[in-house]
Amino acid sequence: MCRERSDTEKGYVGETYVMAKLSRDFNIVSARVPQQFFSYDLITSNNKRLEVKTAIARDFERKHPKKTYYSKGWEFRRPKKQLHRDSSQFVVCVCFKSKDMSDKPKCFVIPSEKLLGRKVFKITVNPKRGIKKFWEYEEKWDSIVN
């Protein structure tokens, strides 16, 4: 049985995955400086600022007067300091299906402008009938290159 990882540990796993994924095309610089806040996590050699969000799938419940609906998805939170227009160019969502993070994650490379003002957003694991919010950004790594 695996232990629950802290949010910080999940974040490091996600950032490391993104750095490895992009290392063929870029020199990646980590923006983490102890005791300082940056509105992005990584910066590429072509000066693209990336905010990396890592999540593990969980169940969501929506109650309606006559029925309760359940869905599985990933939820992401962005602090207020990451919501302004110039904070980053892309939000890279690294999505694991299992708690032990042993599976290959799905990644969504979402332009930050599509998330302006959103403190919390979700991506469903198995989108159905038109509920495919953000799925058009799945594995869009080339958008960082261009």
Instruction: Give 5-58 pLDDT, tens digit per residue.
Output: 787 888 888 888 998 888 887 887 776 665 666 778 888 888 889 999 999 999
User: Domain 7-145 - what CATH class?
Assistant: alpha beta
More confident residue, 146 or 108: 108
Q: Compute the mean pLDDT over every residue in the chain, rounded to the nearest whole number.
A: 85
pTM: 0.85
Instruction: Give 136-146 pLDDT, tens digit per residue.
Output: 999 999 998 87
Report, as an integer, the average pLDDT of 54-68.
Answer: 89
Residue 91's pLDDT band (cuts 50, 70, 90): very high
pLDDT score at 134: 93
- Cβ(35)–Cβ(50) below 8 Å: no
- 8 CA to centre of own chain: 14
CA dihedral for 8, 10, 13, 18, sign (positive or negative):
negative
pLDDT score at 64: 85
Listed residue (60, 17, 8) closest to 42, CA to CA? 17
